[in-house]
Amino acid sequence: MDKFSFFEPGILFREYVLLKEIFSKSDITQQELAKIAGIAPSMVNKYLMLFEKKGLIDKIGPNRRKMNYFITQNGIYRLQYLAVSYLREVAKLYSNSRLVFMSVAEELFKNGIQKIVLYGAGVVGETLLDILKTERIQIVCFVDDDNSKHGTVLNGIKIISPDKLAADIYDAVLIASFRHAGKISAKARSHGMKNIYIFSVQTDGRVSLKREE
């Protein structure tokens, strides 16, 4: 499962996870539930007591160590509601973020650019790859100054040395770095690369492209 640093799970998400796991495995332990939900076992116990009070689960067993949990019909309805709500928010998040980056793709298309080389095989480059490959943009390859990366593959795209890039296989080079964009742009020009763009993100979340002259 991917880790999202900026989206910490809240109460509804934990409720969804716990009910889903109980539905899948009735003999699951509180320790297992705690590990999956990322909370303390004592907090799991509070959730389970609340679920039972609301009629979402039944439990059978002599003690907490040997307890089976069964989701009720009301619990199934609640789980279905939470699942739909979760998927709706994920879809909304994807839609909103996609709209933000549409301006990047539109700027490239406006200039007749469809084949892109990403200069920088780091976090920014990987992010741009994930975004642009869904917008009819072909990522030809990564170029990077790190010799240890040459010949390797990042998310299905080969990483090559800047001096190995053939001029006839791309329409533009997109600098995939924030802090070192100016320095990398100068290196790209020194290697004879043409049509260089710098990608930037403003503090308010807006994104933009600037073509280097």
Residues 80 and 133 in one domain: no
Q: What does the alpha-carbon distance between residue 177 and residue 108 come to, in Å, rounded to a whole number? A: 18
Q: Is residue 4 part of a domain?
A: no
Please tell me whether residues 199 and 130 are part of one structural domain: yes
The total of structural domains in the chain comes to: 2
Residue 100 belongs to some domain of the structure: no
- Rounded to an integer, the average pLDDT of 14-31 is 92
Best CA proximity match to 9, nearest among 20, 67, 203, 30: 20
Say if residue 52 is in the same domain as residue 119.
Answer: no
Q: Does residue 205 share a domain with residue 118?
A: yes
Residue where one domain finishes, among candidates 93, 122, 148: 93
Beta bridge pairs of residue 57: 71
Structure confidence by residue, pLDDT tens digits, 57-91: 998 887 766 789 999 999 999 999 998 888 887 77
Judge if 84 and 58 occupy the same domain: yes
pLDDT (0 to 100) of residue 4: 52
Query: What pLDDT is attached to residue 131?
Result: 76
CA 19 to CA 78: how far, in whole Å? 9
Q: Which domain, by its residues, includes 44?
A: 11-93
> Residue 163 is part of a domain; what is its CATH number?
3.40.50.720
User: Which pairing describes strands 153-154 and 157-160: parallel, antiparallel, or unpaired?
Assistant: antiparallel
Average pLDDT, rounded, for the chain: 85
Q: Are residues 198 and 137 in the same domain?
A: yes
In a domain, 104, yes or no: no
Residue 26: pLDDT band with limits 50, 70, 90: confident
Kindly give, in sequence order, each residue whose CB lies less than 8 Å from that of residue 111, ignoring residues fewer than 6 positions away.
172, 211
Q: What is the pLDDT of residue 62?
A: 74
| Claim to verify: residue 78 and residue 147 sit in the same structural domain | no
Has residue 1 got a pLDDT over 50?
no
Verdict on whether the full-model pTM lies above 0.95 = no
Instruction: Note whether 165 and 199 are same-domain residues.
Output: yes
| CB-based contact 145:187 (threshold 8 Å) | yes
